[in-house]
């Protein structure tokens, strides 16, 4: 049987392809967006719980993966009762894991969680297209149960964002609640816009075509996010396999070095205690072209770390991250591509202090030299400085 492509089908497929290409171009630069600006971090410090509320709202409104999932949920819902039921199921799901995981310091790889969230967008769109019956010849799973379960996964994604903030140990619960309230306010705001958009399209005779294009686009979007986040996960899980060549204006080579337990002589050995739910950084000053080696390990618990450098004579306060991950040890050597401070930032999200043993050697200035750094270098380095904002 020869398939005849109608004019309507051709236009529909063309629109579907154009929409998919647009989404790929739009999201190619933001699929890895897990951090936040220095302005946001400082506003949190200055604003207290209201800042957590505001950040929760803005995070939801900019969280394209969460919004895509909510859009898929309400796409074919008509009555207020159904909309309230399914949105509430999603809200309860993500609120439970957001609060529980953050309060107990449970951390999962954010790339892996976001990859699963990408698949959840594919799932809801596939269900909207009645894919289980059409393509798998089975009845779809209970939608309410699935939305609640997927909401639990989305909550872990929200928790990873919240745990990247400078949480107060004394007001931890209020920080979490404020952030969660902001999430719900942002979700309600987005929901109103989505419902108005769908209601307007539903009144036109193009709605059937619009629904097909939209849900196939959601599948493309979810698949794209899944692939991009899994690529990011491979970079964090197997960081040693993704080393780039050094040079002017590029990331320096981080080479494997002697394990921390070896008998090699080190220039400096320091013990740094990271308090429970606290953070600290340690820096050394390195001239451009000089090389130093390092090895550090914790006394047990893995910590999030960011190995980075800050150029001298740069009033903007910008920095370059060389590697970041969550682990209980790391080692290597680095040749500086600029003169400035180089070092580590650690964040402890557990309920107990963690002690880090750091060993370094090479061409750098530390210790007493770092108490009076060059005039171009901010005098904020040292093993005991506790950061008030994080990368």
Find out whether 17 and 144 touch, Cβ atoms under 8 Å.
no
Give a yes or no: residue 390 inside a domain: no
- In the structure, what pLDDT confidence band is assigned to residue 372 with cuts at 50, 70 and 90? very low
Give a yes or no: residue 35 inside a domain: yes
Distance from C-alpha of 350 to C-alpha of 299, rounded to nearest angstrom: 13
What's the pLDDT score for residue 233?
77
The reply to whether 150 and 56 lie within a common domain is: yes
Q: Average of pLDDT values for 86-112?
A: 88
Q: Average of pLDDT values for 253-257?
A: 45
The reply to whether 271 and 185 lie within a common domain is: no
The reply to whether 268 and 225 lie within a common domain is: no
What's the pLDDT score for residue 264?
59
Q: Is pLDDT at 373 greater than 60 in this prediction?
A: no
Give a yes or no: residue 379 inside a domain: no
Domain holding 259: CATH number? 2.60.120.680
The reply to whether 218 and 99 lie within a common domain is: yes
What's the pLDDT score for residue 136?
92
| Domain region containing 34 | 7-237
Identify the bridge partners of residue 304 per DSSP, sorted by sequence position.
326, 347
Give a yes or no: residue 248 inside a domain: no
Distance from C-alpha of 296 to C-alpha of 102, rounded to nearest angstrom: 26
Q: Average of pLDDT values for 179-193?
A: 92
Give a yes or no: residue 247 inside a domain: no
Report pTM. Answer: 0.58
Give a yes or no: residue 99 inside a domain: yes
The reply to whether 225 and 111 lie within a common domain is: yes
What's the pLDDT score for residue 50?
84
Q: Is pLDDT at 244 greater than 50 in this prediction?
A: no
pLDDT digits (tens, 9 = 90+) for 268-326: 899 999 988 788 889 999 999 999 999 999 988 888 888 999 888 877 667 788 888 88
pLDDT digits (tens, 9 = 90+) for 100-154: 998 887 878 878 899 999 999 999 999 999 999 999 999 999 999 999 999 999 9
Handedness of CA 96, 66, 216, 213 (dihedral sign): positive
Q: Considering only 39-43, 109-113, 194-198, 204-208, which range has the smallest mean pLDDT?
A: 39-43
Percent of the chain scoring above 70 in pLDDT: 72
Could you give the number of structural domains in the chain?
Answer: 2
Domain stops at, among 202, 237, 272: 237
Give a yes or no: residue 101 inside a domain: yes
Find out whether 268 and 327 touch, Cβ atoms under 8 Å.
no
What's the pLDDT score for residue 46?
63
The reply to whether 111 and 179 lie within a common domain is: yes
Q: Average of pLDDT values for 155-161?
A: 87
The reply to whether 168 and 60 lie within a common domain is: yes
What's the pLDDT score for residue 320?
84
The reply to whether 304 and 211 lie within a common domain is: no
Q: Is pLDDT at 11 greater than 90 in this prediction?
A: no
| Mean pLDDT of the residues in the chain | 77
Give a yes or no: residue 376 inside a domain: no
The reply to whether 51 and 109 lie within a common domain is: yes
CA atoms within 13 A on the CB side of 54: 11
Find out whether 250 and 322 touch, Cβ atoms under 8 Å.
no
- In the structure, what pLDDT confidence band is assigned to residue 190 with cuts at 50, 70 and 90? very high
The reply to whether 226 and 260 lie within a common domain is: no
The top-scoring range by mean pLDDT among 51-60, 130-139, 243-252 is 130-139
The reply to whether 136 and 57 lie within a common domain is: yes
What's the pLDDT score for residue 43?
58
Distance from C-alpha of 243 to C-alpha of 333, rounded to nearest angstrom: 12
The top-scoring range by mean pLDDT among 4-13, 110-119, 167-176, 239-248 is 110-119
pLDDT digits (tens, 9 = 90+) for 321-350: 888 888 889 999 999 998 999 999 998 877
Find out whether 224 and 24 touch, Cβ atoms under 8 Å.
yes
The reply to whether 267 and 225 lie within a common domain is: no
Distance from C-alpha of 286 to C-alpha of 163, rounded to nearest angstrom: 31
């Amino acid at each position: 049987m020869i398939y005849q492509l109608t004019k309507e089908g051709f236009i529909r497929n063309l629109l579907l392809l154009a929409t998919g290409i647009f989404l790929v171009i739009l999201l190619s630069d933001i699929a890895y967006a897990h951090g936040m600006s220095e302005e946001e971090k400082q506003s949190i410090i200055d604003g207290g719980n209201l800042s957590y509320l505001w950040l929760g709202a803005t995070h939801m409104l900019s969280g394209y993966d969460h919004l895509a999932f909510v859009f898929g949920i309400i796409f074919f819902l008509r009555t207020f009762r159904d909309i309230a039921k399914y949105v509430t199921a999603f809200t309860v799901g993500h609120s439970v894991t957001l609060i529980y995981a953050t309060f107990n310091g449970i951390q999962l790889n954010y790339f892996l969680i976001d990859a699963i969230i990408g698949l959840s967008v594919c799932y809801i769109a596939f269900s909207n297209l009645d894919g289980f019956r059409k393509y798998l010849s089975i009845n779809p799973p209970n939608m309410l149960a699935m939305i609640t379960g997927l909401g639990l996964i989305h909550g872990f994604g929200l928790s990873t964002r919240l745990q990247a903030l400078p949480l107060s140990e004394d007001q931890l619960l209020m920080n979490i609640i404020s952030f969660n309230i902001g999430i719900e306010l942002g979700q309600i705001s987005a929901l109103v816009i989505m419902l108005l958009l769908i209601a307007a399209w539903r009144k036109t005779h193009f709605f059937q075509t619009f629904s097909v294009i939209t849900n196939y686009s959601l599948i493309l979007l979810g698949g794209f996010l899944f692939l991009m986040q899994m690529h990011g996960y491979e970079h964090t899980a197997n960081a040693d396999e993704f080393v780039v060549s050094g040079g002017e204006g590029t990331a320096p080579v981080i080479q494997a070095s002697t394990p921390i337990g070896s008998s090699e002589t080190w220039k400096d050995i320091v013990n740094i205690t990271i308090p429970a739910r606290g953070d600290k950084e340690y820096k050394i000053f390195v001239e451009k072209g000089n090389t130093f080696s390092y090895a550090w390990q914790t006394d047990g618990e893995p910590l999030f770390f960011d190995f980075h450098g800050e150029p001298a004579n740069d009033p903007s306060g910008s920095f370059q991250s060389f590697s970041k991950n969550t682990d209980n040890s790391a080692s290597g050597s680095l040749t500086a591509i600029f003169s400035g401070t180089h070092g580590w930032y650690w964040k402890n999200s557990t309920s107990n202090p963690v002690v880090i043993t750091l060993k370094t050697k090479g061409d750098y200035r530390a210790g007493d030299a770092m108490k009076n750094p060059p005039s171009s270098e901010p005098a904020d380095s040292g093993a005991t400085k506790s950061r008030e904002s994080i990368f």
